[in-house]
Chains A and B, each alone.
Chain A
Amino acid sequence: AQSVTQPDIHITVSEGASLELRCNYSYGATPYLFWYVQSPGQGLQLLLKYFSGDTLVQGIKGFEAEFKRSQSSFNLRKPSVHWSDAAEYFCAAGGGGNKLTFGTGTQLKVEL
């Protein structure tokens, strides 16, 4: 069965520190991969996506993610976190039919 795992439910970082959110997937073939961010009371906003090609993808708000086929991972990174980055982050994977499977999310808290 297809699945996406985000092993960290909560992460706390200090403002200005680096960030890495983990995501692992289990799919029959290399899926499309996405990271979304959700601020409280809001819908989901796309941060970045990987379809094929360069395994390091750049997104909005200074985020990047690296696809590692050997580890079935698609970790999200940011070199310096801002207080406004506090939100919930979702990794998602999709294949044919445009359906997405979401991880359970990682809640990011930023300490000032």
Chain B
Amino acid sequence: DAGITQSPRYKITETGRQVTLMCHQTWSHSYMFWYRQDLGHGLRLIYYSAAADITDKGEVPDGYVVSRSKTENFPLTLESATRSQTSVYFCASSEPGYEQYFGPGTRLTVT
């Protein structure tokens, strides 16, 4: 299907475990983004990528790792999950100078 998808949609993990959230887009947009959404904070940018193999930190990058070996995929890894990383994670994509399109989100709970 065309668009932007995220998997899994829901994830429960334990403190200290590594977890990877997947993001896939079919538009071949050059830019991709990861946000986290927390009550009272709106959406905060974690990492973004301007093209394959080009990534950069956003506002809240600590504890997260990203990679982008292919234009259409932008996985986000929590290397050692903490309870403070319990959140809803959104992936987005865009072309330069244009609006961002968002995926449906992944609700992550760290116990």
Contacts and interface: CB of A to CB of B under 8 A. Distances in A.
A43 B101 CA distance: 9
A104 B31 contact: no
B43 A43 contact: no
B58 to A, nearest CB: 7
B101 A46 contact: yes
Interface stretch (B63-71, B73-81, B90-98): B90-98
B3 to A, nearest CB: 10
B104 A42 contact: yes
Contact of A90 (B40, B42, B96): B42
Interface residues on A, range: 20 to 34
A17 to B, nearest CB: 26
B90 A44 contact: yes
Interface residues of B, number: 25
Interface in B41-85: 41-45, 48, 50, 58
B105 A104 contact: no
B42 A46 contact: no
A32 B94 CA distance: 14
Interface in A10-57: 32, 34, 36, 41-46, 49, 51
Given A90-B43, A98-B31, A102-B43, A46 B99 contact: yes
Interface string A96-107: 011110111100
Contacts of A36: 102
B42 A102 contact: yes
B99 A49 contact: yes
Contacts of A32: 97
Given A90-B43, A99-B48, A43 B90 contact: yes
B42 A104 contact: yes
Interface of A: 32, 34, 36, 41-46, 49, 51, 90, 92, 97-100, 102-105
Given A98-B33, A104-B41, 11 more contacts: A34-B99, A42-B105, A43-B90, A51-B97, A98-B48, A98-B94, A98-B100, A99-B45, A99-B48, A100-B100, A102-B35
